[in-house]
Amino acid sequence: MAVGTELGSSLFLPKLAELLKVEPLSEKEKLFQLRLKDGSRLNHKPGQFVEVSVLGIGEAPISISSSPTRDDSFELVVRMVGNLTGALHRLQPGDTVGIRGPFGNGFPVSELLKRDLLFVAGGIGLCPLRSMIQHAIDKREQFGRIILLYGCRQPAEQLFRGELGEWRQRPDIEILESVDRCPVDVAWEGSVGVITTLFPQVSIDPGKTTALVVGPPVMYRFVVAECLKQGIAKERILLSLERRMKCGMGFCGHCQINNRYVCQDGPVFSYAELSRLGEAEL
Amino acid sequence: MDVFITSKADFDSSIQRMIQQNEIYGVKRKTPSFAFDRLVAAEELCLDYDITVLPPTKYLLPPTESLIKFKLAPEPSIRSSAEAQPCILIGIHPDDLHAIKLLDAVFTGSLTDVNYLARRRATTIVGVDCVNPWPYSFAASMGTAIPPRIFDLWLTDLGDEYLVEVGSARGEDLRKRYLKTRRAREVDLRQRNKVRQDWLKKYQLSLDMPPQEIPKVLDEAWHSPLWEELGQKCLACGSCTMVCPTCICFDVRDGIELNLKEGERYRRWDSCMFDGFAKVASGENFRPTGTARLRHRLYRKGKYMLERYGELGCVGCGRCVHACLVDIASPVAAYNRLAKEAR
C-alpha cells in the first residue's frame, strides 16, 4: 500500500462543464456540446467515455461522440431512458454539469493507421463511432478506405442526418444505410432489413480491413458472424460494449465481464478477446 | 523480529488507557454473536471470539460513505469528502487481515481511491490469532489463518499472557505508549508456534487442494451443472456478499438536502447477487439469472481477484456459508465439488 504518498485528488470529483449547445437529434436523443469550465481540454481518445453528473440526481457513463481533433469542446449524445438522462434532457445551454474522465481504452488508433476502416453502427451506436469517423476524416491520409454501414429501426431514428449528408457527398467515404422497416409514406433510398443485409453490398479486402462495431448487444453476434464470413481476422473485429459503469475505475464491480472491467480494460475489445470470455456470450 | 510479552492483567489496563485517549473499535459480545463496535470499557473487549457478524472491513469501506459534497447555488461547486478520524481496530483475525491486504491492492493499486486510503492510513491495526475457529471456517486450508505482515501489532494468546509482535513503527509507538511488556524469549516464540499449530487443527472445513489450484479447477468448470443446481435455489438476497470481508462492490447515489441547494454523492454496499446489478438503463441485464450471478461470485473469489490483484478473493472465513438462507453459498463446498468433477 502506498502509505507514504500524498492522498491526491479524488477520482470521484467531477470537473464542472458548461453546456454550449443542446440540440435534439431525434425523438429520444439529444446532442450536448460541452466545455470544461477550468479551461482545460478533455484530452480524450476516440471511443472513450465520460461520467456525466447532474448534481443531485446522479451520474451516468456516456460515450464521447466527437473527435479530439476538432476543438476544445466535446460532444455527447444522450438517449432519454431514465432519471439522469431525463434530467440531462431538461438542461439548457449555459447550464452546468459534472464530468469525470475520460475513461476506458478507446479505439486503438495507432493500430488503425493505413487500415481500411469498416464502421458498423447500429442505432445509437453511431455516437461512439462518430468520434473515430471524425478522427479518420480529419487525418484522412493516414487511413485506407472509410466504409460506414449504418442501420436503424426506421428512418426517423437516424442520427446526425446533416453530417451524414456531408459524408455522403465525399468521394472518400462509402456509406450504406438500412432500416428494419420503413413507413410507406416516408422516402427512403437505403436498404430495408437488418444491418447484416448491407454486407453483401460492399466489397472489402479482408486482409486490409478492421471492423469497428457498435450497436445493441443483439446485433453483435450477427455482425461478428458476417465479418468472419468476409474473412476479417478475429483480432481485427473491434466491438465497444455497454455495461453499467458506475465508478469508471474498476472499483465498483458493476461492469465486470469475467476478469475484465469494461470501464478500464474496455469499452473497446477485439472479438478475439471477447470470444475467450464466457460472459461476453459471443 | 520485535516480539514482546505482556500479562493479560497489564493488557487490560493498557486497553483502558488506550480507550481514554483514542477512538477504539474492538470485538464485543453481542449474544449470540460477536461484533466490532466502539469500545468504552476494557472489559467489553473479547479476544477469544470465533467470528464477528460483519468483518472489520466495514471501517475501511463503510456501508454508506460520502464521496463528494456539492452546492448547487449560488454557483455550482464540488469538493471531495474523503477524510478519516484516526482510530485503532483491535481484535482482527488473520483471515480478515488477508482480506484487508486484498482491499489495499484493489484501492491503492494503479488507481487510488482516496476515501479508502484516507481511512486505511488513519487506522491502526491490532490483530489477534484465532483461538476458537467457528465450524464454518476453512481458513487453515486457505493459508489465511496466519496473518500477513500488514499489522501494526499482533497478539497471540499464550494463556496468562499475550505475545505481542510489532509490525510497524506505528505499532511500536503504540506499544511504548500503552503496553507494559518484556522482550519475548526463544521459549515464548516456540510456545506461539505450538499453540498456532494446535489452533490450525481445530478448523472443521477444509479445501481439498492447495488454494493456488482453485483457478485451474475453475478454468475447466464454466459449463459445470453445479451452477444451475445452486443458481436456481438462489434468493438473490445478497446475504453472502454483505458478510464477506472481500466483497467491495458499491452503488453510487446522490442525495440532496431539503433546501435543494446542497447535497452529497455517496456510495453504499451493493451486491453482484442482486438481480439488477448488471442491468443497464436500456433495460438489458447482462447477468439476468441466479445461475450466472452465483457463478460470477465464485469465479471472482476463486480466480479473477487473484489474476488481477495477486490475492485470492476468498479468505475462508465461512461467513457466507453461515449467512446463506438456502445453503448454496459455500465456496469451499463448490470448489471441492468442482475439483472432484474434474477428476
Does position B1 have pLDDT exceeding 80, yes or no? no
Does position A19 have pLDDT exceeding 50, yes or no? yes
| Alpha-carbon span B130 to B144, nearest angstrom | 11
Q: Is A1 on the interface with B (CB under 8 A)?
A: yes
Which residue has cell 456531408? Answer: A166
| Alpha-carbon span B174 to B151, nearest angstrom | 12
The domain of B309 spans 211-249+272-342
Q: Is A252 on the interface with B (CB under 8 A)?
A: yes
**A117 and A39 fall within a common domain:** no
Does position A3 have pLDDT exceeding 80, yes or no? no
Q: By C-alpha distance, which of B102, B108, B118, B24 is closest to B67?
A: B118
Task: Establish if A209 belongs to a structural domain.
Answer: yes
Domain count, chain A: 2
- Looking at beta carbons, which residues of chain B come within 8 Å of A2? 108, 112, 117
Write down the mean pLDDT value for chain A: 95
* Beta strand A191-192 pairing with A209-214: unpaired
| Alpha-carbon span B222 to B225, nearest angstrom | 9
- pLDDT tens, residue by residue, B12-48: 999 999 999 999 999 999 988 999 999 999 999 999 9
| Alpha-carbon span B12 to B325, nearest angstrom | 38
- Looking at beta carbons, which residues of chain A come within 8 Å of B292? 279
- pLDDT tens, residue by residue, B166-178: 999 999 999 999 9
Task: Establish if A218 belongs to a structural domain.
Answer: yes
Task: Establish if A9 belongs to a structural domain.
Answer: no
Asked if B112 lies within 8 A of A3 by C-beta distance, the reply is no
Of A1-15, A250-264, B63-77, B123-137, the least confident: A1-15
The domain of A176 spans 109-280
| Alpha helix (H) residue ranges in A80-193 | 83-89, 109-112, 126-138, 161-169
- pLDDT tens, residue by residue, B261-278: 999 999 999 999 999 999
- Looking at beta carbons, which residues of chain A come within 8 Å of B281? 60, 81-82, 84-85
- Looking at beta carbons, which residues of chain A come within 8 Å of B306? none
CA of B225: how far to CAs of B82, B155, B297, B330, B336, in Å?
A: 45, 44, 16, 16, 14
Does position B207 have pLDDT exceeding 70, yes or no? yes
Report, as an integer, the average pLDDT of B104-116: 95
* Chain A interface, best mutation among B254, B269, B304, by max A CB count within 10 A: B254
Task: Establish if A250 belongs to a structural domain.
Answer: yes
Residue A2 pLDDT level (bands cut at 50, 70, 90): very low
**Residue B24 CB: number of other CB atoms within 10 A?**
22
Report, as an integer, the average pLDDT of B316-323: 98
Question: Which residues lie below 8 Å from residue B106, measured CB to CB, with a gap of 6+?
Answer: A251, B248, B309
Final residue of a structural domain among B139, B170, B200: B200
| Alpha-carbon span A129 to A120, nearest angstrom | 8
- pLDDT tens, residue by residue, A134-165: 999 999 999 999 999 999 999 999 999 999 99
Does position A57 have pLDDT exceeding 80, yes or no? yes
| Alpha-carbon span B27 to B219, nearest angstrom | 39
R_g of chain A computed on alpha carbons = 19
- pLDDT tens, residue by residue, B226-271: 999 999 999 999 999 999 999 999 999 999 999 999 999 999 999 9
B196 touches B165 (CB < 8 A)? no
| Alpha-carbon span A164 to B96, nearest angstrom | 57
pLDDT the model gives residue A71: 85
Q: By C-alpha distance, which of B196, B107, B180, B86 is closest to B146?
A: B196
**A66 and A113 fall within a common domain:** no
Write down the mean pLDDT value for chain B: 96
Task: Establish if B114 belongs to a structural domain.
Answer: yes
| Alpha-carbon span A131 to B160, nearest angstrom | 70
Q: By C-alpha distance, which of B343, B86, B89 is closest to B216?
A: B343
**A66 and A181 fall within a common domain:** no
Domain count, chain B: 2
Report, as an integer, the average pLDDT of B213-224: 96
| Alpha-carbon span B130 to A71, nearest angstrom | 61
- Min Cα separation A246/chain B (Å): 7
